[in-house]
Structure 1
Amino acid sequence: MRDKREKFIELANKRVVSAIDKMRLIGNLSDNRYYQYSDADVKKIIDALTKELNSVRAKFQHNKNHKEKEFRLEV
């Protein structure tokens, strides 16, 4: 069981740091000295990122809820 935990920690650390780095790069696109964008462009970017973050949250919540459910028949 410890191996699964260690693997989770190893991969989570790498992947979260990578995701944060990529998000910072996306944030760099806001510098209007170098880039031109519209409010619609910004909305599409934010909506896509929010949708994916919500999907990740739902996956973790689903796994948590799935494990906590009990089944019991009653008379």
Structure 2
Amino acid sequence: MDDPKRERFLRVASARTEKILNLTRLLGNCANTSNYSYTEEEVNHIFKSIREELDIQETKFRMKLKEDSGKRKRFTL
């Protein structure tokens, strides 16, 4: 690849996505009722907060796509 911005995006986005996925899996470990106690309201609050933040971040990407190009490409890394 000759585009350093593209190369940096692929490297950084892949690493950060992997971190998020790993942390999400670690959060899932908290579902083990042998080790933890929680309420449905707490679970709802956790996942509502995560969804809200994901929506905010996805909107940033979508807005940039609309600004940069009227044509959509298939997503691949």
- Normalising by structure 1, report the TM-score: 0.86
Where do 4+ consecutive residues of structure 1 move more than 2 Å? Answer: none
Matched, 1:38 2:44: no
Q: Give the paired residue count.
A: 69
**1:19-70 Cα distance to aligned partner (Å, 9 max, x none):** 000111111100100000000000000001100111111010010112236x
Q: CA RMSD in A?
A: 1.2
* Distance in 1, Cα, partners of 2:46 & 2:36: 15
Gaps of 5+ in 2: 71-77
With CA pairs under 8 Å and 6+ residues apart, which has the higher RCO, 1 or 2?
2
> Secondary structure, in 3 states, of the residue corresponding to 2:12?
helix
Code of the aligned partner of 2:11: E
**Structure of higher CA gyration radius:** 1
State the alpha-carbon separation in 1 of the partners of residues 54 and 30 from structure 2: 20
